[in-house]
Amino acid sequence: MDCSYKKIKDQLLSDIIPVNDRDLNEQTIRQRLLTRPRSEPSFSIDPEPNNYQRHLSASNLYDQADDLIDTVLEVPTKCVEQAKEVGKRVVQYVVDHSHLPQWLLDNEFLISGHRPPMPSFKKCFASIFRLHTETVNIWTHLLGTLFFIITAIYFISRPSSEVHIEKKLIFGAFFLGAILCLLCSTLYHTLYCHSPKISKFFSKLDYCGIAFLIIGSIIPLLYYQFYCEFGTKVAYLTFIGVLGIGCIVVSMWDKFSSAHYRIYRALLFITFGVFGFIPSCHYMIQFGVEHAFKVGAIQYLLLVAALYLIGACLYAARIPERLAPGLFDIWFQSHQLFHVFVVVAACVHYYGICVLSHNQTTVFGDCRNILSSNTVPIASIIS
């Protein structure tokens, strides 16, 4: 680096200093000036009166050129040094998959960009603002959490004349499930590199949050789809509650959070979601397909189910990183896509239950209208 710097500097000086003065350095000029008799006037004794002035001018020019070149070349040199320092910090901050300890190994198709063990809560939370394999996972669900918190506050704070307290409680169950799910996921992806103990604890909370989201999503559906059938609502709510508790119990099992059980985790919650769809199938059979789509907002529920299913399948199969290991280490990996599908599905579900609630008030009216002869009978669906 020093040799290159000197070569560049000498080349620039040779271009700036006049040709006749290239062999004249500062030391030679000063020596000649000092050996010149001070008492002799330059205009009468000096046979070449302009030589010293020329030498002095060349010396000043050399000094100025030297300072200017140092100043100009100093900027890129400092930039290179700073870039090297930043590069060292980045390299030290993230590691390859092969350098991770056993308890941090999860997806072997993500080759680089992993956070090493960080036994400090402060450093873990500071890593939210740095780029690594978990950055997008953190921010997708963090922004989703903030969105549903703000929406819940707005919805619940509306006056009772606009939104009845009963409706606030029903929607509150959904908001609570969505917020707990997304918040637990955010905390897990932020803190899982802290230590094995913290990683296991927040991994369990992450899976419990999924169960909370499913339960919270089904409550509004049961309430409005079987608005006048109290026994049916209680039966389905009990059934879903037992399944949800079962998922939470299994999620608290240490072995269940290991990478080996990735597919089983996905299948468990897919099964839970499918069972959660049974009440809606019952609703379509009882009131008719046309009624279910026009009034019951079943189309939104089907879209939600498709989004969850696609996201879970991508997560279980680890696509697309399986197809090109190392290419999706930071962006567009399967877990990130799964997070996006979850947030979008939760938003669609919220809109769907808003439509269902509105229809219950404006179309359903009282229970006699819901069970009127205008609905399609079961026999017509079977035939």
Angstrom distance (rounded) from CA 275 to CA 243: 9
Query: Over the chain, what HEC string results?
Result: CHHHHHHHHHHHHHHHCCHHHCCCCHHHHHHHHHHCCCCCCCCCCCCCHHHHHHHHHHHHHHHHHHHHHHHHHHHHHHHHHHHHHHHHHHHHHCECHHHCCHHHCCCCCCCCCECCCCCCHHHHHHHHHCCCCCHHHHHHHHHHHHHHHHHHHHHHHCCCCCCCHHHHHHHHHHHHHHHHHHHHHHHHHHHCCCCHHHHHHHHHHHHHHHHHHHHHHHHHHHHHHCCCCHHHHHHHHHHHHHHHHHHHHHHCCHHHHCHHHHHHHHHHHHHHHHHHCHHHHHHHHHHCHHHHHHCCCHHHHHHHHHHHHHHHHHHHHCCCCCCCCCCCCCCCCHHHHHHHHHHHHHHHHHHHHHHHHHHHHHHHCCHHHHCCCCCCCHHHHHC
Angstrom distance (rounded) from CA 263 to CA 317: 8
Angstrom distance (rounded) from CA 54 to CA 56: 5
- 339 marked as binding residue: yes
* Count of all residues that appear for the chain in the document: 383
Question: Which residues line the annotated binding site for Zn(2+)?
Answer: 189, 335, 339
Extract the annotated binding site: 189, 335, 339
